[in-house]
Amino acid sequence: MKAAIINHFGPPEVLEITEIEKPVPNDDEVLIKIKFAGINPVDTKVRAGTSGMSKNLQLSAILGWDVSGTIESVGKNVSEFKTGDEVFGCIGFPGLGKTYAEFAVADPKLITKKPANVSFEEAAAVPLAGLTAYQAIHEHLKVSEGQRILIQAAAGGVGHLAVQFAKLNGAFVAGTASGKNEDFLRSIGIDLFINYKKEKFEKVFKNGDAALDAMGGEILYRSFSCVKKGGRVVCLPSSTKNDPKAIELARQFNVELIWPMMHPGGEEMSIIAGLLEEKKLVVKIDKIFVLDDIVEAHKAIETHGTDGKVIVKIR
């Protein structure tokens, strides 16, 4: 089968298109014929060798977590799926990826059936970003009705989904983005749009219950002053974990600081699938590449200029 692999860590050009053996599912797995794969910032960090997860990666390796496609075959112990089912999910965990390929084996607990009215493109764009946003809003920030939350990079892959989950919970949502994204963010319900190129968010939004930061560094440091005492701040980039300055600022502002680790699961994927099916959740796709252009797809992610998600058409 055709796949994109890396034999060593480095820039996007280390990704190579090659032919490898088609995987075979064991008795407890399914084999997915992949239509689209999603790309996430963590993919680029693992490829570059800068992620903590890189040290656990056996080279050569296939990257990629997000997938949509059809069930090609099932192991004899699998009863919840059958050949031909349309599915999607985040299947790279607890391993370190495998979806930049024409086929992949998966634990059936990590996938769910794709609603008929949801495209394979939309489905591939959702899993990792959707689960990250869902868990941040529900588990870590515990956003509830009437609360006020600030979402940094609100038009990004995680950000625009987090905006919608927070709104579904009844929160007042403020979000930062560039001016070109204002109309989109207002269309998905944002209450306070903050153009970070024209105004300082900490002067516009104050006394919030929570903040979700996708950047780290100065953006994270400035976010603490937006949250009231006893509030929560989630910082997504694992590379910033245990930043001494952030920890000290959280202490000074009496705010709980959380660096979460997304955990995959078909149960939450099923909830997200239901929201997609009911048109209560919109996923924005910024760019679609083909597998042969996987290098360019990684370069696009690393510009930090994409809005919504980047996906790859496998077949």
pLDDT the model gives residue 265: 82
Residues counted in the chain:
315
Mean pLDDT, to the nearest integer, of 113-119? Answer: 97
Q: Please tell me the distance from the alpha carbon of residue 47 to that of residue 301, in angstroms, as a whole number.
A: 12
pLDDT the model gives residue 27: 96
Greater pLDDT, 100 or 315: 100
Q: Which helix (H) or strand (E) holds 2?
A: strand 2-6
Q: Please tell me the distance from the alpha carbon of residue 218 to that of residue 225, in angstroms, as a whole number.
A: 12
Phi, psi of 31 (to 5 degrees): -110, 125
Mean pLDDT, to the nearest integer, of 21-34? Answer: 95
* pLDDT interval class at 238 (50, 70, 90): confident
pLDDT the model gives residue 160: 96
Mean pLDDT, to the nearest integer, of 47-58? Answer: 82
pLDDT, tens digit, for every residue of 274-312?
999 999 999 999 999 999 999 999 999 998 777 889 999
pLDDT the model gives residue 211: 98
Q: Please tell me the distance from the alpha carbon of residue 149 to that of residue 201, in angstroms, as a whole number.
A: 12
pLDDT the model gives residue 237: 86
pLDDT the model gives residue 85: 98
Q: Where does CATH 3.90.180.10 sit in the chain?
A: 2-126+283-313
> Could you identify the residue written with the tokens 């892959």?
157
Q: Options 3.40.50.720, 1.10.10.10, 3.40.50.1010, 3.40.50.300; which CATH number does 129-258 get?
A: 3.40.50.720
pLDDT the model gives residue 97: 66
pTM to 2 decimal places: 0.93
Phi, psi of 174 (to 5 degrees): -105, 145
Listed in order, strand segments (DSSP E) in 91-226 are 103-106, 111-113, 148-151, 172-177, 192-195, 208-213
Collapsing DSSP to helix, strand or coil, 195 comes out as strand
Q: What radius of gyration do the chain's Cα atoms show?
A: 19
pLDDT the model gives residue 111: 94
pLDDT the model gives residue 239: 77
Considering only the C-alpha atoms of the chain, give the largest distance between any 2 of them, rounded to a whole number of Å: 59
Q: Where does CATH 3.40.50.720 sit in the chain?
A: 129-258
Average predicted confidence (pLDDT) for the chain: 94
Mean pLDDT, to the nearest integer, of 60-70? Answer: 94
* pLDDT interval class at 96 (50, 70, 90): low
pLDDT the model gives residue 223: 97
Mean pLDDT, to the nearest integer, of 184-210? Answer: 96
pLDDT the model gives residue 171: 98
pLDDT the model gives residue 248: 97
Q: Please tell me the distance from the alpha carbon of residue 200 to that of residue 222, in angstroms, as a whole number.
A: 9
Q: Note whether 16 and 3 are within 8 A (CB).
A: no
Task: Indicate if the pLDDT at residue 261 is higher than 70.
Answer: yes
* CATH 3.90.180.10 is the classification of domain 2-126+283-313: yes
